[in-house]
Amino acid sequence: MGWGLVIAIAGAVVAVILAGIGSSVGIGIAGQASDGLLSEDPESFGNILILTVLPGTQGIYGFVAAFFVIIQLGLLAGTVPQITMAQGTQIFLACLPVAFGGLVSGIFQGKVSAAGVAVAAKQPSESMKAVILSALVETYAVLGLLITILLLMGIKL
Amino acid sequence: MRTISYHNQKDDVKYSFAVGKIRAMETRLLDGLLFKRLIDSKDTREMGRLLVETSYGDLFKEGAASADFEALLNAELKRTYQLIKDIDPDPASACNLLALHYDFHNLKVLLKLRQSPSEADSFLINLGLYGPEAIRQMVTSSDYSPLPLNLAKAISSLVTELEKSSPPSQWIDIQLDHILYTYLIRQAEHLNNKFLITLFRFQIDLINIRTLLRVKQMEKEASFLQSVLLEGGEISKEKMLSFLEEPNDKLISSLNFAPYAQVIKEGINYYEKEKSLALFERLADNFFIQYIGQAKYIAFGVEPLISYILTKENETKNLRIVFVGKQNSLPKNIVEERLREIYA
């Protein structure tokens, strides 16, 4: 097995790990704020569920990107693919947009969601507006994923 | 209100839970409508009944003597301080500083009545970071070591001086205020909490201006004013002293750009007409309610907790005003006039 494959796999791993950290931290922040509200007002669960879940998507995007890499490499086919150093590096670089996009946007989305919990507490009927604001942060994780997928599809093996 | 020199600090996400909880609790603060109904009610008993349906419900439950409102309102404050302490992730938090003035009140009472301690009971307030019993223990044993080192040292030397000569009781008040505010400012600076530093500075300024007005009326000399002014405000002591010889208009015009300019302008105009600081004090309270309202826009930090405590203090103050008004059958418009702004 050549180093090309190692580098390609490292790309998939970085995508899952960094995007996963982004989501974990993000949901961690938003979840604590939501718990604070729930400790006083359990009825508001429906209003804050989406807010709390939103930062979780980055982790999924990392997972999707890694899955694309696995399919592209044919790792599930049972044969060891022959990947050159250059191809491996290309795949690694292609994974970076979703990895860093997910890491940073996940954390900030968590903060926006946590701040949005105040809206859900004070004006439950307006809580969808807080969801929309939080979803704006999502855009940049989606763009990262999009470029990662386009790049992966463009790389000729 | 003019913008206040306050810059948001680094996000402190460890406060996420606490702030989420506070936001939910803020929805249960008493609103203007309820205060209107309280003012319209015919006696304190009916007020108690109205309060049963609010967050005060378990204190003012059916049959509870609403005549003893003072104790019930203090119980609510005690509960608030305890709750904030429970949800505050930082044990050395800035919130601890807010309860300290009750300890100092108790300390003043106990030191002034140290010859007849039994009389002190009725003046003690069952609140504070340490509580009246701990303070009593310290005064009887003359051992202030449970307090932070700075405070313990300052108070010990004050007590030594107290035993040598017997100064007037007003002197004790002044000295303890000096010690308290020096400590508060120093701690707020140590915690690097701009919100609190500014809050305490403004408090000191408004206290100093009130002192200045009283000293002027008493026609005392500058050295006396020098000894009673608090240090650490936005307005320096020297500047304050320079106002002593000037007419009040000069004071108003030179503080025209202070954030609390309105308090000074309207408060002093009323004071000159009526010889009463009531409006000044009410406007000052309203100013602080507006000031802490800034914490509404902070999602990560201790500020919403500080703001909640002070809002609760304001709410119980308003309730006390209405209760006292009802007890003394004051006309509605007078009670309404005395109410502080309601945080919304």
Report if residue B79 sits inside a domain.
Answer: yes
**CATH code at B43?**
1.10.132.50
Q: Are both B198 and B293 inside the same structural domain?
A: yes
Phi and psi angles of residue B304, each rounded to the nearest 5 degrees, phi first: -60, -30
Contact B20 A32 (CB under 8 A): yes
CB B20 within 8 A of CB B29: no
Q: Are both B273 and B209 inside the same structural domain?
A: yes
Amino acid at B37: R
Number of domains in chain A: 1
In this predicted structure, what is the pLDDT of residue B64? 62
Contact A114 B25 (CB under 8 A): no
In this predicted structure, what is the pLDDT of residue B35? 93
| Chain A positions in Cβ-Cβ contact with residue B21 (cut-off 8 Å) | 36-37, 39-40
Contact A35 B20 (CB under 8 A): yes
Q: What is the span of the domain harbouring residue A76? A: 3-154
In this predicted structure, what is the pLDDT of residue B176? 93
Q: How many CB pairs under 8 A join A and B?
A: 66
What are the residue ranges of helices labelled H in chain B? 16-26, 32-40, 44-52, 69-87, 96-112, 117-120, 132-141, 149-164, 169-190, 194-218, 222-228, 237-242, 248-254, 261-274, 278-292, 303-327, 332-338
Q: Are both B14 and B42 inside the same structural domain?
A: yes
* B146 at A interface, C-beta within 8 A: no
Q: Are both B220 and B270 inside the same structural domain?
A: yes
Type and span of the H or E element at A40: helix A3-40
Q: What is the span of the domain harbouring residue B280? A: 194-298
In this predicted structure, what is the pLDDT of residue B170? 85
Number of domains in chain B: 3
pLDDT in tens, chain B (344 residues): 444 444 445 678 899 999 999 999 999 999 999 999 999 988 888 888 889 889 888 888 766 666 688 888 999 999 999 999 999 998 888 889 999 999 999 999 999 888 777 788 888 999 999 999 999 999 989 899 999 999 999 999 999 988 888 788 888 899 999 999 999 999 999 998 999 999 999 999 999 999 999 888 888 888 889 889 999 999 998 888 988 888 888 889 988 889 999 999 999 999 989 889 999 999 999 999 999 998 888 889 999 999 999 999 999 999 999 999 988 989 999 898 899 988 76
**CATH code at A130?**
1.20.120.610
Amino acid at B175: Q
Report if residue B344 sits inside a domain.
Answer: no
Closest CA to B108 of B97, B119, B118, B120: B120
Contact A36 B20 (CB under 8 A): yes
Report the predicted TM-score, pTM, of the whole model to 2 decimal places: 0.90
Q: Encode B155-190: b = buried (16+ Cβ within 10 Å), e = exposed.
A: bbebbeebeeeeeeeebbbbbbbbbbbbbbbebbee
Structure tokens that stand for A110 in this block? 């968590």
Mutate to test the interface with A, among B8, B11, B14, B19 (most CBs of A within 10 A): B19
- Low-confidence stretches of chain A (pLDDT beneath 50): none
